[in-house]
């Protein structure tokens, strides 16, 4: 068990690392962070800031020397470096989870092996292989790079065979996976957290609304039948158990018209759709993550009140600042990023409410999030 006063090393200095670090510091831990950027969001609150690429062997060795336990804030880090680090330091999440979730081919295979449902899919190492296999999948479908890609990047939706050439450039980056398009009614996410003893809990399930492939709002509890929520949690537990999860796993899912569920993708760390938990639950995803990787017993999450979380992108920062005085019930989080670029996640707002529909209307009428 890692105790207060010891040091938690975090690979990745973005907003997830920052919120992890703030939760850890509340409990009396010291924080070390490794990130290529000076004055990163997590670096601003860390006790030790190591500025270097994620695959820098000397920097990883330095992080190992100063840390009693090491975690990571996102999956697009250097797998080989993390694997070597986990052999020399205490990295309770291990490197295998990153290897699987970095590659959509491995991820889909793991979800299916866990016994959870996925959309029909094919894999292709080359564009020619995609052309040869596509008739077995059909249209519409979505072609995605196996590596990288987030917030809608690295993918293209194809409605017919005549559009296949639109996917050709994706193979310049990596092998690809093509998935049958799922006509879903809702997108939801289950965030499950598990400690080394196998104790696990799920956060209240969020319904997610996207704009331009970027998460816009998370609504909690998700507006689906209780039977769907129960089914979603069972699938997340299955996947976490199969992977031997320690820490946090976000499981993004589609809910179909008949109430069935299809797993979309996994994220092996705290997730944007769980930010609401800072105010709205008796324990946030970040506090629970720290408890999990430090080997503490976990707390069963409870939702205090229905809640909406809204992302603040670069173009929303100035209008939000102009309206803060008008909305005293809004909890505003800004991440300390130096430049407010368009479509860049700069922060979020959490609103606890006893009337979800009224609050959704309030958000729209504020004018902050106009396209």
pLDDT per position as a tens digit, 107-154: 999 999 999 999 999 999 999 999 999 999 999 999 999 987 666 678
DSSP codes of every residue in 274-293: GTTHHHHBSS-HHHHHHHHH
* pLDDT exceeds 90 at position 78: no
70 within 8 A of 91, measured Cβ to Cβ: yes
CATH fold group of domain 120-180: Dna Ligase; domain 1 (3.30.1490)
Write down the pLDDT at residue 272: 98
Sequence-ordered list of residues with C-beta below 8 angstroms from that of 52, at least 6 positions apart, any chain? 34, 36, 58, 59
The CATH 3.40.50.20 domain(s) of the chain lie at 7-91
pLDDT per position as a tens digit, 13-54: 999 999 999 999 999 999 999 999 999 999 999 999 999 999
pLDDT per position as a tens digit, 280-307: 999 999 999 999 999 999 999 999 999 9
Instruction: Residue 83: name the closest of 110, 54, 104 by CA.
Output: 54
Longest CA pairwise span in the chain (Å): 61
**Which CATH number is 7-91 given?**
3.40.50.20
* pLDDT exceeds 80 at position 179: yes
Question: Which two three-digit tokens encode residue 186?
Answer: 């809702």
Domain 186-365 has CATH 3.30.470.20: yes
How far apart, in Å, are the Cα atoms of 369 and each of 207, 315, 316?
18, 9, 6
pLDDT per position as a tens digit, 303-360: 999 999 999 999 999 999 999 999 999 999 999 998 999 999 999 999 999 999 999 9
Distance CA 254, CA 182 (A): 8
The CATH 3.30.470.20 domain(s) of the chain lie at 186-365
């Amino acid at each position: 068990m890692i105790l207060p006063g010891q040091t938690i090393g975090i690979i990745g200095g973005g907003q997830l690392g920052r919120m992890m670090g703030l939760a850890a510091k509340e409990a009396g831990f010291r924080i070390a962070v490794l990130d290529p950027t000076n004055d990163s969001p997590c670096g601003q609150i860390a006790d030790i800031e190591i500025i270097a690429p994620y695959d820098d062997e000397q920097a990883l060795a330095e992080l190992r020397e100063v840390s009693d336990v090491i975690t990571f804030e996102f999956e697009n880090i250097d797998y080989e470096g993390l694997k070597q680090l986990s052999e020399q330091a205490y990295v309770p999440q291990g490197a295998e989870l990153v290897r699987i979730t970095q590659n959509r081919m491995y991820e889909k295979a793991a979800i299916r092996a866990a016994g959870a449902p996925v959309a029909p899919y094919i894999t292709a190492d080359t564009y020619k292989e995609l052309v040869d296999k596509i008739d077995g999948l059909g249209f519409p479908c979505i072609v995605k790079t196996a590596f990288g890609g987030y917030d809608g990047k690295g993918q293209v939706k194809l409605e017919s065979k005549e559009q296949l050439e639109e996917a050709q450039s994706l193979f310049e980056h990596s092998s690809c996976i093509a998935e049958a398009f799922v006509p879903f009614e809702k997108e939801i996410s289950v965030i499950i957290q598990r400690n080394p003893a196998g104790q696990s809990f799920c956060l209240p399930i969020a319904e997610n609304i996207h704009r331009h492939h970027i998460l816009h709002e998370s609504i909690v509890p998700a507006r689906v039948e209780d039977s769907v929520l129960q089914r979603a949690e069972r699938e997340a537990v299955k996947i976490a158990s199969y992977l031997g999860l320690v820490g946090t796993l976000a499981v993004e899912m589609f809910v179909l018209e008949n109430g069935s569920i299809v797993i979309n993708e996994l994220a092996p760390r705290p997730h944007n759709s769980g930010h609401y938990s800072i105010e709205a639950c008796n324990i946030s995803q970040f506090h629970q993550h720290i408890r999990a990787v430090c080997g503490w017993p976990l707390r069963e999450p409870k939702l205090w009140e229905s809640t909406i979380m809204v992302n603040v992108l670069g173009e929303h920062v100035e209008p939000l600042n102009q309206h803060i005085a008008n909305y005293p019930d809004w909890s505003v989080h800004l991440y300390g990023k130096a430049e407010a670029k368009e479509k860049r996640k700069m922060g979020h707002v959490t609103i606890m409410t006893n009337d979800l529909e009224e609050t959704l209307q309030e958000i729209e009428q504020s004018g902050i999030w106009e396209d």
